[in-house]
Structure 1
Amino acid sequence: MDALGDIRVIELATGVAGPIVGMFCADFGADVVKVETPDGDPERGRPGFPMWNRGKRSVVIDPGSAEGRAWLRNRIGGADMLITRDGEELAAFGLDGDELLASHPRLILLEMPVYLPGHVPWADGVESAALLGAFGGQFARQSSVSGEPVESVYQTLLYAHGLWASVCAVAALIEREGSGFGQRVTVSGINALQQLTMISLVVDPNAPDPSTAVGGAGRHPTYSRMIAGDGKWFTSGALGPRFEAMFMEVIGLGSIVEDERLGGSLANMVAPENIGWVQKAVEEAVLKQPRQYWLDRLDAVGIPSGPIDGREGWLDHPQVAAMGMRVEVDDPDRGPVVMPGVPINLTATPGAVRGPAPALGEHNDRVAPWPAQPRPAADARPLVRSGPLSGIRVVNSGPFLASPYAGCLLSALGADVIKVEPREGDPFRKPAYGANRGMRSIAIDLKHPDSIRAFHKIIEGADVFIDGLRPGVTKSLGIDYDSLKAINPGIVTMSLSAFGQTGPLGGRGGVDMVLQGMVGMMSAEGGDGEPIVNTISVCDISTASMSSLTIALALFHRLRTGEGQRTWDTLLGTATYLQSAEIIRFEGRPPAIVGGVDFQGDGAFDRMYRAADGWVRIAAPDAPAKIASALEIPEEKLADKDGAIAAIAAAIIDLSREEATRRLNRAGVPSASVRKVTEVLRDPRLCEAGFAHVYPSDNGGFIATPGRIASFSRTEWRGVLKPPGIGEHSVRILEDAGIDPATIDQLIERRAVAVGGPMPQILPHAYR
């Protein structure tokens, strides 16, 4: 069976993010009809289109045609989901969202506004990762040499938007199975930014923005990229107290912790006053030996590491092939295309690339009417719930960042998520403060002879079990899928690993930093210069969304069949997806953008410029005449790239950001101020939209964390997500599992289980 085998989707959205939702639906068996105007999706001529639109059908409709509008209304009557950008896009086809939901009560209306519902702060309302990243604080938070904002060469925010919206859409389908009713689901560009830049948004809103002038290596001396004595670059994944100490021993700096500036703790390496001198000491030590020497030594002690390579040949890597992440299709417009495959794995209902992207209008007159959706009973009332996943219980044993953050995301959708951690706690729980929000904690020693029976009782009442352990560890602990299935036949298990279990790298450990280097992200960002570390943990954070999507698809299948299954995903699969438009290959494709030190953008009309009080971002590669008019520049000065950059820079340097963007947007040139995180947190529109939750910290300040990251018209979850203390909920969780008080006391007395209080609400130093 296919996870979404009988789901019918109408896709009106164009561009990148909306079609990505359609792609995931099609990959898992949904019938996705892409409705385009006669001009076609503007992305049709761009490299990523063949991937984001694979497996769909294309129908062309003239929005002004009464016949076309009637055809569309007819198909919507049989659709389970309608994907659109916003109400304006619906109105172009004569549709109204409220009327559609009233007429078709089972419809999931997925709206994906570019910025906020009803508001885009730049001209033309275009979908733009660059403008969103500039205006939303991403670029100003990127580590740099100069301390100035840095542009990303990837459309990561759009990839994140499509992925997170997919999770929310399937969550709404899950809720509909119980209630019988659909609803409006809104996932905006701002929601994507909140979800992706979570670490940067967990701050004291009243503290100064941290300096980003820490270099392209980032803030963490042992969790970074490094150059060895032979001039070759590699990454070290030494993060957390144990690995950090081991790394220092390996490179001969074990005694550095005795330096009084560190106060006896390597955690203080990332304090602003220590970053520079510790980084220098590490760099000098690593230069004493060639790359392979360090990779061998780090591997011997279990520290994840890897070489830094280019992205050009990544799809030919044998590990990519072993995991089925390299796919070839015959595209009707481009011929043979090599693209990333399906990045998540469901063993009972696997996804697959069902075919190429369709030619424009290829299926005109070939999409038969769908049967009308069944209507709820006349006396049925839509249920009101606290989140679309209300009633779902998830047991999450994953440590560090990606797996805990998957639990946080599921909590934000209403699930009851239990964080299972060792008696001493997840070693990364403090640095990953933002990732552990919203869960309940039980601290349990799974190696203790008394604990496994208690853990199995918890599993009896669970719907999902997540592990982020290396392949083979769950089996040794007796918590693998086969063991848990014997206890709970309907259980869904989700395993996250770096490279999966098969192939030349199968079973190896890996972390975000290692994958960024291996797949080519760092080298692409650095261009001809040094590799650049992305301040966002893009692989970890996006894998949390990928894991959530995996779980949602498996739960939807279980609701329809009663069948659980084993599922898994990998950092490698996510890292490959995050480069989809950049590494896809076909004859004649234009080269992908590469960066450089403190990269400011590609081309004269698509980059950041310094203003009198900061920076502005222009995103109008095809509008030199409009730029010339807005800035009163003779158009002939924009004839060549270098001259145009100089002329535009001179015209903007004496203007405030507000004045520069006002002139540009008024002339139809999409542009935005480059803002810092503290500016974003003070934006009145974002405050009104619930962008952040702010609450007192335990040391006298305040803590801001991402607020509502998706909206559901009927099953909205509201509340502040905070991280739990170690074992804060141990007793209640055991009670919920039906374990009697005497047995609980014995578990605590025998040190199988630990009990603790709330976690101190104090922000750690930023490690990225």
Structure 2
Amino acid sequence: MSALAGLRVLDLSTGIAGPLVGMVFGDFGADVVKIDAPVPDPAWGRPGYAVWNRNKRSVLVDPGRPADLEWLAAAARGADVCILGHGSRLADWGPSVEAAALANAGLVVVHLPAYLPGSTPWSGGESNGLLAAAGGQSARQASVTGGPVESISPHLLYIHGIWAAACAVSALVERTVSGRGQVVTVSGVQAVLEATVNALSADPSLPDTPTTVGPAGRHPTYRLFECADGAWISVGALGPKFEGNLLRALGLDAVLTDPRIDGVTARMSLPDNLPWCNALIEAAFAARPRAELVELITGLGIPCGPVSSRDEWFDSEQVRAIGMHLEIEDPLRGRVEMPGVPIVLTASPGSVTRPAPRPGEHDGIEPWPARPTADPERPPRYVPGPLAGFRVVNMGTFVASPYAGLLLSELGADVIKVEPCTGDPFRVSGYTFNRGMRSVAVDLSSPDGRSVLHRIAATCDVVMDAMRPGVAAKLGFDYDSLVLHRPDIITLSLSAYGEGGPVSARPGVDMVIQAESGMMSCWGGDDTPIANTIAINDVATAALSVLACVTALHHRQVTGVGQRTWDSLAATSVLLQMEDVVRYPGREPAPVGRQDLRGLHPLRCHYEALDGWIYVDVPRDDHRAVDRMRDVGLLGVADGPDALRDAVAGSSVDAALALLARAGVPATRVRPVSEVLRDPRLLEAEAFHIRRSDDGRPFMMTGRYADFSRTQRRGPMVPPGTGEHSRAVLAEAGLDETEIDAVLADGVVLQGTTIRHELPISYR
């Protein structure tokens, strides 16, 4: 059976992020009932609606009809999960519905405010563009001319839904222990934290990172290159080993020996070094055809790949092999092609069995029977995080897998980072991604080292790896090996391309997957391909990895059965383009961008004022917005929306925003990262934590990623030093002092010290 079968979900959300939470539950077997109101969901009619609302039933509830509210109150008494989207409250449906939900002690309420709970700096609801502008993301995107850049897809809203779903399921895992529900709040700001964790780990007293570095980004060897034949290649040379090997292979040893670099490849990304490093490396690529470069770089073990279109990627044999291209008959839309389920649970898989319903399609169904009330003799459980008491081994390196470990730690799990005795090769640049975990440094190439890992794994609920398919089995860390040491173990394997398909065994990284999946070509349009400054596939896969773990944990808590799970950057890349790749007869064309894209529509666009930038996002169904802007004098009588650029250009940011507010038009200031970090409302909400480097300089790091009404973890997380916790973890795994001393003396395990706390040079 599917992992969440038997759960009942009341979806009171609209738009994108909230419905995505419901989609996740429906994909894994929950009975999801979408409540539609007489006013249609703003997303109705959008191509993505077919994806975001699949596997659901729909009941139309009119707040003005007592019988409808009585039905909804009964459904709330019987639900396990209630999803509330931006700006919505249970009280909005009347006191009877709110009272019914409050009486359901096992109910997990998931709230997704558009910005912060009770505080949004624009009128209206969720908006990817407004969130990116207010959260610093659009101003941080690499560009040619500078200024904010519009994303081609609503990535922040997708991440908002994915991460909120992971948090909701983790609350259900906790409910299997306590018997009680709680309120889970994941705000739009917290979605920004999850997505832009690297950019938002900064010193706000320093100047903001320059963005006029071109569409390829700011890393000289982890980026796009145009080859001699005019073709484009994306290269994933990240970390000192790969960066140095690539430079030497290209005959650029002089870069490494230059005193400005002095062998420290991270220094290539410093503002003073980036221009001359880029010029030398770009020239080396421009001198050779792509095929020759692919052969050279692949031979070095460095991921690389061509820039392709999103349709080529969606139709590729690889995407189909990992189940991310499926077709379903839809009575309203015809034959619909859409992304599949991006995480694979082998014992309790997800599936897509039902198209998105039409509003009110299932009117007349009986509400669920009421759930039993909580045992009054059993006191509520207050623990630091819904996953408190669960232990995870994280064997991943670089970004996606370690970041999943951070997120699991944020949810309260005890996460043990198992890494080589030389440390994760991306440790310095990846400082922010490794927080919250304990570290054990083990030589896994030796039999004794593998034996140590097996003993640690026997004390854990989940073991995560980030190896190519088949590698874990060769080393003895796969599910079949680990289940011998713990019968109910859960394993998660994160790879670049997934299991199955012609390129499954290839190494891959976010920068290469962005290119191959069409993300870069569709954003660049007829101009140069554009790389997302966010490590978008990495950060989203981290959240999906957490979702896979907690979904499998919930299934195990209910059935006692562990299982093998897996996910991939490739699957994530399809999911993050879900509205763009969905197909059915007569759908509108998917959007295509261009260099330094300010917006896809005059009413959904960045505009420059006298003293900064603003972003305007008029809802698609608001047909009187231009008239209202004329009424307040922002536009002339005969002006259309295209004239908004000139109107804003002659005004200050504050004056333009005041007029737009009077016209009821959603708009906000575009903020650089430094301004976001200094926002007192965000500091009060613990969006950021202040840290201090070893030299005494303060810097900021992302803070609280979610809020739980009963099981909140608190305080900043710090990264461990390599092997800092080796002795303690080995003792917890049952090794006595003699055994611990022996493996340390033999060099099988390293006992390290604390990490050097220093804000790293940003690699993107």
TM-score (norm 2): 0.98
**Distance in 2 between residues matched to 1:418 and 1:399, nearest whole Å:** 13
Kindly state the Cα deviation for residue 97 of structure 1 after the two structures are TM-superposed: 8.8
DSSP 3-state at the match of 1:602: strand
Q: Is the 8 A contact 2:87 2:125 kept in 1?
A: no
Corresponding residue pairs, total: 760
Kindly state the Cα deviation for residue 458 of structure 1 after the two structures are TM-superposed: 0.7
**Distance in 2 between residues matched to 1:300 and 1:624, nearest whole Å:** 57
| Alignment correspondent of 1:75 | 75
**Distance in 2 between residues matched to 1:650 and 1:180, nearest whole Å:** 59
Q: Is the 8 A contact 2:17 2:157 kept in 1?
A: yes
**Distance in 2 between residues matched to 1:98 and 1:188, nearest whole Å:** 21
**Distance in 2 between residues matched to 1:116 and 1:713, nearest whole Å:** 15
Kindly state the Cα deviation for residue 92 of structure 1 after the two structures are TM-superposed: 2.6
**Distance in 2 between residues matched to 1:264 and 1:92, nearest whole Å:** 61
Residue by residue over 1:442-473, the C-alpha shift from the partner in whole angstroms, topping out at 9 and shown as x without a partner, is 11111123222221111111000000012222
| Alignment correspondent of 1:665 | 661
Kindly state the Cα deviation for residue 89 of structure 1 after the two structures are TM-superposed: 3.9
Counterpart of 1:735 in structure 2: which amino acid?
A
**Distance in 2 between residues matched to 1:690 and 1:764, nearest whole Å:** 22
Which stretches of structure 1, 4 residues or more, deviate above 6 A after TM superposition?
none
| Alignment correspondent of 2:130 | 131
Q: Flag the 1:531–1:127 CA change in 2: closer, same or farther, 3 A.
A: same
Q: How does 1:389-538 map to 2 (within 5 A)?
A: 389-538=387-536
Kindly state the Cα deviation for residue 312 of structure 1 after the two structures are TM-superposed: 2.7
Kindly state the Cα deviation for residue 101 of structure 1 after the two structures are TM-superposed: 5.1
| Alignment correspondent of 2:297 | 298
Counterpart of 1:369 in structure 2: which amino acid?
P
TM-score (norm 1): 0.97
Q: Is the 8 A contact 1:327 1:338 kept in 2?
A: yes
Kindly state the Cα deviation for residue 430 of structure 1 after the two structures are TM-superposed: 1.2
**Distance in 1 between residues matched to 2:222 and 2:377, nearest whole Å:** 59
DSSP 3-state at the match of 1:343: coil
Kindly state the Cα deviation for residue 370 of structure 1 after the two structures are TM-superposed: 1.4
Counterpart of 1:704 in structure 2: which amino acid?
M
**Distance in 2 between residues matched to 1:313 and 1:56, nearest whole Å:** 30
Q: Is the 8 A contact 1:206 1:702 kept in 2?
A: no
Counterpart of 2:66 in structure 1: which amino acid?
A
Counterpart of 1:702 in structure 2: which amino acid?
P
**Distance in 2 between residues matched to 1:615 and 1:628, nearest whole Å:** 21
Q: Is the 8 A contact 2:510 2:535 kept in 1?
A: yes
Counterpart of 1:533 in structure 2: which amino acid?
A
Q: Flag the 1:179–1:759 CA change in 2: closer, same or farther, 3 A.
A: same
Q: Is the 8 A contact 1:468 1:496 kept in 2?
A: yes
**Distance in 1 between residues matched to 2:227 and 2:745, nearest whole Å:** 50
Residue by residue over 1:105-157, the C-alpha shift from the partner in whole angstroms, topping out at 9 and shown as x without a partner, is 0000111111111111112x221000000011001111111221111111000
**Distance in 2 between residues matched to 1:150 and 1:87, nearest whole Å:** 27
| Alignment correspondent of 1:104 | 104
| Alignment correspondent of 2:675 | 679
| Alignment correspondent of 2:33 | 33
Kindly state the Cα deviation for residue 378 of structure 1 after the two structures are TM-superposed: 2.5
| Alignment correspondent of 2:252 | 253
| Alignment correspondent of 2:188 | 189
Range moving further from structure 2, 80-89 or 271-280: 80-89
**Distance in 1 between residues matched to 2:244 and 2:528, nearest whole Å:** 26
Residue by residue over 1:46-78, the C-alpha shift from the partner in whole angstroms, topping out at 9 and shown as x without a partner, is 010001111100110111211111100001111
**Distance in 1 between residues matched to 2:12 and 2:611, nearest whole Å:** 40
Q: Is the 8 A contact 1:26 1:354 kept in 2?
A: no
**Distance in 2 between residues matched to 1:765 and 1:727, nearest whole Å:** 23
Which blocks of at least 5 consecutive residues in structure 1 are unaligned?
Answer: 639-643
Quick check: 1:720 aligned with 2:716?
yes
Q: Is the 8 A contact 1:86 1:117 kept in 2?
A: no
Range moving further from structure 2, 432-441 or 247-256: 247-256
The Cα RMSD (Å) is 1.3
Residue 630 of structure 2: which of 628, 640, 651 is its match? 628
Residue 559 of structure 1: which of 554, 557, 560 is its match? 557
Residue 374 of structure 2: which of 376, 380, 391 is its match? 376
DSSP 3-state at the match of 1:116: coil
Q: Is the 8 A contact 1:205 1:702 kept in 2?
A: no
| Alignment correspondent of 1:200 | 199
**Distance in 2 between residues matched to 1:597 and 1:548, nearest whole Å:** 34
Q: Flag the 1:98–1:42 CA change in 2: closer, same or farther, 3 A.
A: closer
| Alignment correspondent of 2:596 | 598
DSSP 3-state at the match of 1:431: coil
Q: Flag the 1:632–1:475 CA change in 2: closer, same or farther, 3 A.
A: closer
| Alignment correspondent of 1:702 | 698
| Alignment correspondent of 1:656 | 652
Counting aligned pairs with the same residue, the percent is 48
Q: Is the 8 A contact 1:15 1:43 kept in 2?
A: yes
| Alignment correspondent of 1:18 | 18
Residue by residue over 1:171-191, the C-alpha shift from the partner in whole angstroms, topping out at 9 and shown as x without a partner, is 000000000000011111111
Residue by residue over 1:304-339, the C-alpha shift from the partner in whole angstroms, topping out at 9 and shown as x without a partner, is 111101113332111111111111111222111110
Range moving further from structure 2, 595-604 or 250-259: 250-259
Range moving further from structure 2, 133-142 or 377-386: 377-386
Kindly state the Cα deviation for residue 99 of structure 1 after the two structures are TM-superposed: 4.0
| Alignment correspondent of 1:641 | none
